Structure 1
């Protein structure tokens, strides 16, 4: 678990440092117009790597994959810091996305290998949110300090330097190689088709229908997505060891958890990426003041995770905890929807605090319930499926707001996003209560 905590600390550091430094890098490399590609390519690579790595972890164990992910993350960080062209930087962001996808597929599955008992596991997992929150708070500060003192390139070397001791810690991680009754074969064709489906569907969701060219691109991506999905599904029915682990998808509770993850992922994206604009447009706060106002949400997520870990073992029906988290999220989103220029600081802090507490409880229970619903031999695939669903949820949230912005003003689009968040939270309550124990 120390190895898992170290990986999550590194993950939070990478996420926050990269987000604050990359705009400076793109500007110096004369590629500011292509800066959005740094996030898009990273997301696509991460979404493709997650299910593939999850399957490999179930087949051969997770230790070597986790070490390979950290090594690849360090290589991508050094390569980004040494980039001389925008093409070089974009290539390194693809490597970075692969590393992040590998980390998501393995780090969150290791506790299921170590603690078969969910009650014991949830107490250890609750600390994970704290480690991520700590590193996320250090990341912007370290990035700004190194960037101001030595330039943006030095800031990108922070993650590789921190990654070296993390690799040393992972050397002590138990191998826990799985034992299989039959020879394991990786479904390479299924993996390729899955990547085509993921990339085409996510690109389709990112398209904003502003002109004829974008509409044609949107239709083209969806046609490719549909063809890839049809061929993939038929292939998965025929192959003996499919990459998608169809046993998971046949479980009704697992399907409900996936739907709930899509909804919470969309709400998470809307709150994290558009709340500063909301506070600036509606309340009139500066972007710095808006960032400070969101601190209760950043703190509330690990606090909600810890509270969930403490309360989980006392519940006969633990799905009620997830419903409680959804209720907190509903209250927070409703308060934000009613935000107005006269809203006090206490009102704003309370709104974001409730959202953070709710998301902390929801996210941890989704991962835990999915691991409980999946067969033991497919725990990694189930964990990767949750991470991929959360990525899709973020893409759905982005697509919803992009569509709203295309037909209305920023203020109205934000209102639509928050109204969707309220409705999604209400649906999360219903889905949580329907889950079987």
Structure 2
């Protein structure tokens, strides 16, 4: 469990440390047109590999894939640190994403192998939550410190000691579990390829639509994704050992849990992405102050998980914990959607804490409930699909809300500038409609000087744009709260789940 926890920390650290170092990376390597690909290449590669290796782990055992995942991930981290241009870095990040997808698809599913008894599994999930919380909380400050003192390349090399420790514990201590099979397994390579193409095309479409709209290329991409999805259904119906067993989607309980996982990703990534922008851009707080106010999200995920382990196995209806978790997300979203610059910081910290505790109640329980329903033969693919749907929900949330916030903000700034006359609006709209000017102090000071030289009250204009940004973000966060409210009602569709004591352990072979 230490090895699996370190794998979880490795993923969390990489996501948060690298995001902090991105401005330094672009400044040195240039190639701003590839900026988005540093994140997108990793996400795309991980999304398409999670379900594939989750299913392969069901067939052939997970230990070899977890070891391979750590080796690929840490090796790709070295390549990222050695990158000489943005193209090489994007390719290395894609390789890193393959390793990350392998880790998520196999390491998480190793937990029910180790602990068939769900009561023990619930208690040990604290290790996962603590590792993720530490990685998420330490990542931003660690990334900034490393970039400042040792350069951006060191933010990739920090994965090496964590990866080495994870590799040692997994290689030395993780047993090799392999379920008994009758007959040879015919790997569904066609299904694996179609899964990768469908998920990859869907992610590309999600990212392209808000940016370009319904262009001919995007419509063609949407049609191609639909055709590939139909081909995947046909392929999986015919496969003797399908990568994605379609009978999973005939179980209404699992479909509900997959939907809840999508909604949890939608809400979680939306709040994590937009709450700091609200604090810095909308309320004018410094990055350090905003970071301190947002820290409770990561810390309270672990706290919520600890509380969850104490209560979920004792409840006559364990799904009540999901209802409480999503209700906390609804309350936190409502608090942030009505927050103003005059809102006490303590109130904001309570809202951030509610987000973290709510996620601590939700994330682990979705895995455990789905594993109880799916059965041992489908642990890997079920756990992998939960991770994939969460990532897809995160992509949908950030993409949809970013489009709504951007359009609402640009429209509000345009209306505010029109009161000063069409000439002023035409001249200053491109500068003021970029929210970076409200976050970056250097950009803001330079623009204030230009506004003063033009005879305009720069301070008043900045204050007006802040109010417009706050209003736009309130709309986005409110939509995230509505998604959490939908999840509250969906939880009622899950039938009663009973934690059964495991009678026998799975087949174990020597590593």
What TM-score, normalized by structure 1, do the two folds share? 0.95
Partner of 2:473: 414
Q: Distance in 2 between matches of 1:284 and 1:131?
A: 32
Preserved CA contact (<8 Å) 1:209 1:215: no
User: Which residue pairs with 2:76 in the alignment?
Assistant: 76
Closer/same/farther in 2, CA of residues 184 and 7 from structure 1, 3 Å limit: same
Aligned to 1:53: 53
2:13 and 2:331 map into 1 onto residues whose CA distance is 30
Q: Does the Cα contact within 8 Å between 2:294 and 2:352 map onto a contact in 1? A: yes
From the superposition, tell whether residues 413 and 196 of structure 1 become closer, same or farther in structure 2 (CA, over 3 Å): farther
Question: 1:93-108 alignment to 2 at 5 Å?
Answer: 93-108=93-108
Q: Which moved more, 1:288-297 or 1:73-82?
A: 288-297
- Cα offsets for 1:167-205 (capped at 9, x unmatched): 111112101122112321211011111111101111111
Q: Return 5+ residue gaps in structure 1 as ranges.
A: none
Q: Per-residue deviation at 1:330?
A: 1.2
Q: Report the counterpart of residue 363 of structure 2 in structure 1.
A: 363
> 1 CA distance for matches of 2:376 and 2:304?
27
Which aligned pairs between 1:29-428 and structure 2 lie closer than 5 A? 29-172=29-172, 173-209=174-210, 215-405=215-405, 407-409=407-409, 410-428=469-487
2-side partners of 1:402 and 1:147: how far apart? 28
| Aligned-partner Cα distance in 2 for 1:405–1:20 | 22
Q: CA deviation at 1:210?
A: 5.4
Secondary structure of the corresponding residue to residue 171 of structure 1:
helix
Distance 2:31 2:69 in 1: 28
Checking the alignment, whether the CA contact within 8 Å between 2:371 and 2:382 is kept in structure 1 is yes
Distance in 2, matches of 1:205 and 1:155, equals 28
Which residue does 2:421 correspond to in 1?
none
Quick check: 1:325–1:361 contact (8 Å CA) kept in 2?
yes
How far the C-alpha of 1:141 sits from its partner, in A, is 4.0
Shift of residue 165 of structure 1?
2.5
Distance 1:238 1:308 in 2: 41
| Contact 1:41/1:94 (8 A) holds in 2 | yes
Contact 1:129 1:305 in 2 (8 A): yes
Give SS of 1:408's match. helix
Report the CA distance between 1:281 and its aligned residue.
4.0
Structure 1 residue 76 displacement after superposition: 0.7
Report the CA distance shift for 1:284/1:138 in structure 2 as closer, same or farther (over 3 A): closer
Corresponding residue of 1:22: 22
- Give the deviation of 1:322 after TM superposition: 0.7
The runs of 5 or more residues in structure 2 that have no matched partner are: 410-468, 498-511
Aligned to 1:434: 493
- Residues 382-435 of structure 1, C-alpha deviations (whole Å, 9 max, x = no match): 000001001110111122213313532144442222221221222211122221
Q: Is the 8 A contact 1:206 1:398 kept in 2?
A: no
Determine the C-alpha separation between the residues in 2 that align with 1:209 and 1:163: 36
| Cα deviation code 1:274-319 (max 9, x no counterpart) | 1111123443322322111111212111111111111111112100
Q: Which moved more, 1:245-254 or 1:142-151?
A: 142-151
1:135 offset after TM fit, Å? 2.7
* Aligned-partner Cα distance in 1 for 2:50–2:27: 30
Q: Name whichever of 399-408 and 117-126 sits farther off.
A: 399-408
Displacement after TM superposition at 1:143 (Å): 3.2
Separation in structure 1 between the aligned mates of residue 225 and residue 14 of structure 2, nearest angstrom: 31
Structure number, greater radius of gyration: 2
Counterpart-to-counterpart distance in 2, 1:332 and 1:141: 24
- d(CA) in 2 for partners of 1:270, 1:392: 12
Provide the secondary structure at the position in 1 that maps to 2:492: helix
Q: C-alpha distance in 1, partners of 2:392/2:92? A: 23
Deviations 1:325-367 (A, max 9, x none): 1111111111111112221011111111111111111111111
Quote the RMSD (CA, aligned, Å).
1.7
Question: Does the residue aligned with 1:182 lie in a helix, a strand or coil?
Answer: coil
Indicate if the aligned counterparts of 1:208 and 1:406 stay in contact, CA closer than 8 A.
Answer: no
Contact 1:282 1:339 in 2 (8 A): no
- 8 Å CA contact 1:248, 1:373 repeated in 2: no
Q: Residues of 2 paired with 1:248 and 1:191: CA distance?
A: 17
Where 1:180 maps in the other structure, the secondary structure is coil
Aligned-residue offset at 1:209: 4.5
Alpha-carbon distance in structure 1 between the residues aligned to 2:135 and 2:313: 28
Deviations 1:245-270 (A, max 9, x none): 22221111100011111111111111
Distance across 2 between alignment mates of 1:231 and 1:144: 46
Name the TM-score, length of structure 2 as normaliser.
0.82
Counterparts of 1:83 and 1:209 in 2: how far apart (Å)? Answer: 30
Conserved? CA contact 1:251–1:373, under 8 Å: no
